[in-house]
């Protein structure tokens, strides 16, 4: 099995790139399942029902999130209507939605997907992601050996620790949140594919997908500035993970595509 994982989709431009590029990428890499982080898809922060539908209609089968999952308040009551959308599994149990699920990948195959939130340098209150990972992975492994974890975290050390912690128990641990792809894609000894951060689907002429000027204003003056999304010159970052029948990863390959102008 081959699974395509897309980094954080940022704004309208990111959604448009997924719609334009995803079908050909799935064919080119012969992927049977696609996961994408969608927590920045609505104007750069959060999700809306409309954004979720666009991403799903483009061919994404599971949408992970992170610390911005509730930024668009109108989406909170809508979450139960979208079983394809996962909130971080180590948030308070009383929050809407679920943090992991098993999805039908066709031909009798099932893919377990989970989302976890890091705690180092992250301001969102959350439970220990390692304790949550133990519980979630045990539940998923009861149904399928194909398991992908989106670890939405800031610190590379925490991400690597999670990858090593779950090595041999999941097919892949893929980092999101920083929007900058790292060059450390690798296979751990137990058969888990890993990358600290997959990157984003957002503008390459930006600062993390936002217009450059207001971000520079914030850094150079210390004054508040509204970070608007740049929806031009979109670049897609993702990875393809190849997985054997036993659930062990056989390969991980970075994917980079520019949106046609």
What's the token pair of residue 8?
Answer: 């954080």
Active site residues: 68
pLDDT at 261: 78
Residue 111: closest CA among 214, 1, 23? 1
Please state, in angstroms and rounded to a whole number, the distance separating the CA atoms of residues 64 and 50.
16
What's the token pair of residue 157?
Answer: 């050390």
Q: How many domains does the chain have?
A: 1
Please state, in angstroms and rounded to a whole number, the distance separating the CA atoms of residues 18 and 38.
11
Q: Are 207 and 215 in contact (CB under 8 A)?
A: yes
Please state, in angstroms and rounded to a whole number, the distance separating the CA atoms of residues 239 and 58.
17
The boundaries of the domain holding residue 112 are: 2-258
pLDDT at 229: 98
Q: Are 202 and 234 in contact (CB under 8 A)?
A: yes
Q: Are 187 and 74 in contact (CB under 8 A)?
A: no
pLDDT (tens, 9 = 90+) of the chain, 261 residues, equals: 999 999 999 999 999 999 999 999 999 999 999 999 999 999 999 999 999 999 999 999 999 999 999 999 999 999 999 999 999 999 999 999 999 999 999 999 999 999 999 999 999 999 999 999 999 999 999 999 999 999 999 999 999 999 999 999 999 999 999 999 999 999 999 999 999 999 999 999 999 999 999 999 999 999 999 999 999 999 999 999 999 999 999 999 999 999 987
Task: Classify strands 234-243 and 249-258 as parallel, antiparallel or unpaired.
Answer: antiparallel
What's the token pair of residue 190?
Answer: 């137990």
DSSP string, 72-120: SGGGGGGGGG-TTB---TTS-TTSSS-SEEEEEEETTEEEEEEEEE--T
The residue with tokens 């914030």 is 218
The CATH number of residue 138's host domain is: 3.60.21.10
Contacts of 226 (CB under 8 A, 6+ apart): 214
pTM: 0.97
φ and ψ at 129, to 5 degrees?
-70, -25
Please state, in angstroms and rounded to a whole number, the distance separating the CA atoms of residues 236 and 13.
10
């Amino acid at each position: 099995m081959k699974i395509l994982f897309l980094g954080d989709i940022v704004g309208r431009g990111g959604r448009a790139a997924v719609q334009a590029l995803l079908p050909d990428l799935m064919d080119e890499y012969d992927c049977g399942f696609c996961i994408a982080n969608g927590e920045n898809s609505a104007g750069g922060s959060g999700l809306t029902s409309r954004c979720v539908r666009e991403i799903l209609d483009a061919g994404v089968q599971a949408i992970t999130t992170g610390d911005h999952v509730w930024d668009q308040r109108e989406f909170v009551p809508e979450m139960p209507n979208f079983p394809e959308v996962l909130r971080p599994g180590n948030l308070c149990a009383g929050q809407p939605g679920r943090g992991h699920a098993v999805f039908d990948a066709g031909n009798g195959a099932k893919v377990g997907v989970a989302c976890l939130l890091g705690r180092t340098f992250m301001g969102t209150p959350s439970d220990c992601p390692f304790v949550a990972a133990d519980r979630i992975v045990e539940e998923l492994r009861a149904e399928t050996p194909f398991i992908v974890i989106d670890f939405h975290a800031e610190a590379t050390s925490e991400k690597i620790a999670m990858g090593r912690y779950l090595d041999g128990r999941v097919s892949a641990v893929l980092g999101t949140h920083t929007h900058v792809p790292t060059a450390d894609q690798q296979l751990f000894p137990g058969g888990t594919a890993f990358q600290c951060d997959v990157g984003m689907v957002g503008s390459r002429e930006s600062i993390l997908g936002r217009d450059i000027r207001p971000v520079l204003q914030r850094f150079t003056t210390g004054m508040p500035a509204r970070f608007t999304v740049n929806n031009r010159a979109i670049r897609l970052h993702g990875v393809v993970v190849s997985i054997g029948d036993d659930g062990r990863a056989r390969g991980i390959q970075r994917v980079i595509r520019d949106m046609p102008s």
